[in-house]
A and B are shown apart, each in its own frame.
Chain A
Amino acid sequence: MARARAGLYGLVSRVFSDRPTPELLKGMKDPEMIEALASFGVVFDEAFLAGDEEGQAGELAVEYTRLFLATGPHIAPYESVFVRAWSEDKPQLWGEATVAVSKFYKEVGLELRPGQTPDHLGLELEAMAIMAECEAARREAGDAEGAALLERQQRRFCKEHLNIWVPEICEAVERETKSVFYRGMATLASALVQLHCGGADKITEQ
């Protein structure tokens, strides 16, 4: 489970961290992937599936910029913009949430590269991916205690951070985007976070 979770968080992290590459898009169109995505309610239309990845990568780069980098609706992908601390008059970059997130990274031992904003959507999702990956590795190495600790840390991070803003930003993306790709990925990220935090229906055993 942890490894699958790592994969999922890794994927959405990648998608919301930067513009897609043709290779990424090719991967997304893999029949296995399409089938698996469908179970999450993510369905790409025929035009997207048939399109040429080089061209699509270009178009999506424009869409990514339009969505997140300020030419269009500008959905700032930072937690502190979405979650205003009660002491803050207005949402701001590098607000209290940012500080809380970077404190969390420090606590669990995740080190940021210089120049990064800790509460960027892609980065928060990636932190989850790394913790899940480490959890899987510990479990395989027989370190049940270490794995359990990492699992708790993910839950905590999810509860204290992701769950209070990721569904909201994903809703904004679903509403604003013109692309079936970003709409689908927003649906996926939102579902993943809500599942993980137990805010929505649990995964059914089967």
Chain B
Amino acid sequence: MRNITRRDFLKLGAASTAVLAIETQFGPIASAAERLIEGGRSVNRTSGLPRSFLPSTCTQCPAGCGNMGYIEESRVVKIGGNTMHLSNQGSLCARGQAGINALYDPDRLLKPMRRNGLRGKNNWEMISWEEAYGEVAKILAAAKANPNDFVFMTDDLDQDAVGRRFTYAYGSPNALGGTGFYDANKLVATELTWGAAGDVPDVSKSKYILVFGANPLESNPQFVGLARRLINGIQQNQAKLVVFDVRLTNTKTRANESHYVNPGTYALVALSMANVIMQEGLYDRGFIEQWTNVSPAQLTQHLAQYTPERAEAETGVSALVIRRIATEFANTHPATTISDAMLSNFANGVQNERAVMLLNIITGNIDVKGGLCLPRKYDLAEPAPVPPVPAPSVLTNPPNLPLASHGSIEKALQQIKEGKQRVSVLMTHGVNPAYSSADGGLVEDMLRDEKMIPYHIAVTPFMNETALMADIILPETTFLEDWEVEVRPSPELVPYVSLRQAVVPPMESTASFFDIAAKLANLVMGGMEQYFAFKTVNDYLKARIANIPGLAQAGGLEYLRQHGVWYDPKTRPNYGAFMAGGFRTPSGRIEVFSPRLAEKNFSALPSYEPIAAFREIKDDEMVLTIFDTALQTDAKTANCMWLDEIQHDNPIWINSVTAARLGILHGDPIKLLRKEKSGVAKERSIISTAFVTEGIHEKVVAMANGVGHTAFGHIAEGEKMTLDEIEVPALRDANVTLVWWGHKDGIGVNAKQIVPIAPEPIGGGQAWGDMVVTIAKV
């Protein structure tokens, strides 16, 4: 090509511009096939209104995706994904997008309220913030003589740093989190095994992915971040996906191969595969010898009891299949497993998780590209002065659960119920144990009991089942009007910091939890005010991110406000980082043999422990599986009408063969009765319709979680409204007049209410999966 001079270039440029000008004047350039509109100054295509947008962090589920609020005339009109965000990479799920429904929920609580009449009668007196703060501060100050009796409950304590700080500043250790399907058992299992809580399967780079009970394409603590990468793994990287489950999940439908497993026997499937790998000599000798605290010979000997033939008899998966998959898994590199609460929410949950981890360990797939990786995340600073952590209580560390180092509301509820911990004041924040905890009816009774819970402060934007049982309600902002810095294990293995920022200012007289906590701390005094001496929330946030290397140079909080997320652009996944300093276990190695388990008389090597309740299961009895869907997050999202319109009820999945045997037809109303262990206490049962399908194990019935609310407002309860009923103009969304499902399909039923409170003996997390029910036609 010839050389072109600057002069020529400019000249042709000018001439071209001239031609285009002519064209614009006379020619049909507007109809020229494609036109682009300059962005940055975004404009609504239909209304023509200018739009602004702010990045934030979604809290509609535990994944913490980066979202983007689009605002027109100071109203959020759309929520999308933040393309800059390392976790969700621009995608945002239905729940995230429907966050707008929560923000403009017609039943949002906008003023502080005091209970009138009996608890739970839903009789309230509106009061001013001054009065509310005055009353709460007075009660908290009076109760401060016994600070341990103050109990704070939240959804996920890791993400509620303000609540934890408030509780510790008050002098109580009882900051409790971990509701719903929060995965305490998995966190404990991984911590015992490799010294870090949780795992990150590097699925996008994997070649072979084994899934035990998890359903990552529909629900997972890392949801979109993991689902995207799993799809990349199976589509682009041609990974083989093998799924074991009791139910035909969405993930199963995308799998190369899937198998039904007898409920509660996942560990036996995994251990028999591990046995095959050891017997056939397919294991990674070097890794086992250098990085674990057992020898191949020891493991081979221990695993010999788990023969594929035994597994076939107890799990229902054929021995041939077990041998083949074990061989494939061991011979394909890299390979990994995916597991979540659906594996570990059994009475043998910690062992289940350890058994599945073992497959990765013996094949050397630990923290390698495409393997099962250690979680990477930044540590946020606790702003100075740091409130000292009070000595543990029976709620945080129940003596009967010495290894349960992660939050579980169930284990605490049990202690309160049994009178082992006195409660003076209960503060619930963004949590709804009356719905999301096991034995919902019992929790409701506890909350109603004024002797057990003398004073209950609910900090919430919505009147849910728990708020209904409060003495005073402090109306909080929703996540779209709130501030916090969040860190989570990065599915990309590059740590990041995500900012939850107010996309719009607090509605009416609602207040952010930070403001509420700070105000109360400064009124209660007695020393706790020093921990909330921040001038603004900005000071608090800046202190939180102060220790993150590189962020300050990039612009600190200002950068986060602009982009919503920060990560060091030069960082790449540092696979095998453990090789520098070993694992963070007492021995510095992966503790396949766990001395801590041995000390407490649990099986120290990964073992299969049959679930007692399943052994004597009768013909008309079934195992109940409660599963999460992509549309509802436990107790959080049912007031979002876009979600409810798609998922508002939860029929009972039942296998067609079982249904035929019991004379149940598709659509029949059926009743699930809880099997009581001793005597007839309070019979608990639920009724829903039968969903007869081949896509479920013959001895399992399954129900979706997240629906069947008895409070939480018109939308969650499936009732349509007229616009006149909505006092505040900002909440008048015409769509609320179109709610049709409550009358037509019903609103489902909360399945978790019939599951008895049963913390797993090691992890302390609720054993949801152990539920045996009797089926009866109605």
Contact = CB atoms under 8 A, between A and B. Distances in A.
B13 A3 contact: yes
A23 B17 CA distance: 14
B40 interface: yes
A6 B38 CA distance: 14
A122 B34 contact: yes
B2 A41 contact: yes
B19 A28 contact: yes
Interface stretch (A154-162, A171-179, A194-202): A194-202
Contact of B17 (A6, A28, A87, A106): A6
Interface in B28-53: 28-29, 31-42, 45
Contacts of B18: 27, 30, 32-33
Contact of B36 (A1, A11, A112, A201): A112
Given A11-B19, A127-B36, A203 B4 contact: yes
B16 A39 contact: no
A109 B38 contact: yes
B90 interface: yes
A139 interface: no
A111 B6 contact: no
A109 B235 contact: no
A11 B35 CA distance: 13
Interface string A10-29: 11001001100101101110
Contact of A87 (B15, B39, B236): B236
Interface string A79-100: 0000000010000000000000
Contacts, number: 163
A205 B6 contact: yes
Contacts of A3: 13, 17
Nearest to A107: B83
Interface in A107-156: 107-113, 116, 120, 122-123, 126-127, 130, 134
Contacts of B13: 3-8
The contact size tier of chain A is 35 or more
A183 B20 CA distance: 20
Contacts of A49: none
Contacts of B11: 32, 35-36, 39
A3 B6 CA distance: 13
A200 B3 CA distance: 9
B6, B12, B42, most chain A CB atoms within 10 A: B12
Contacts of B14: 4, 7, 32, 36
A105 interface: yes
Contact of B23 (A23, A30, A134, A195): A23
A18 B35 CA distance: 12
A204 B6 contact: yes
B12 A8 contact: yes
Given A21-B26, A41-B1, A123 B15 contact: no
Nearest to B35: A113
A140 to B, nearest CB: 15
A137 to B, nearest CB: 9
B16 A8 contact: yes
B23 A14 contact: yes
B683 interface: no
Interface of A: 1, 3-8, 10-11, 14, 17-18, 21, 23-24, 26-28, 30, 32-33, 35-37, 39-41, 87, 103, 105-113, 116, 120, 122-123, 126-127, 130, 134, 191, 194-195, 200-201, 203-206
20 contacts: A1-B10, A3-B17, A6-B13, A7-B15, A8-B9, A8-B12, A8-B13, A11-B16, A17-B32, A17-B33, A24-B19, A36-B14, A111-B45, A112-B36, A113-B35, A126-B36, A130-B38, A203-B6, A205-B5, A206-B6
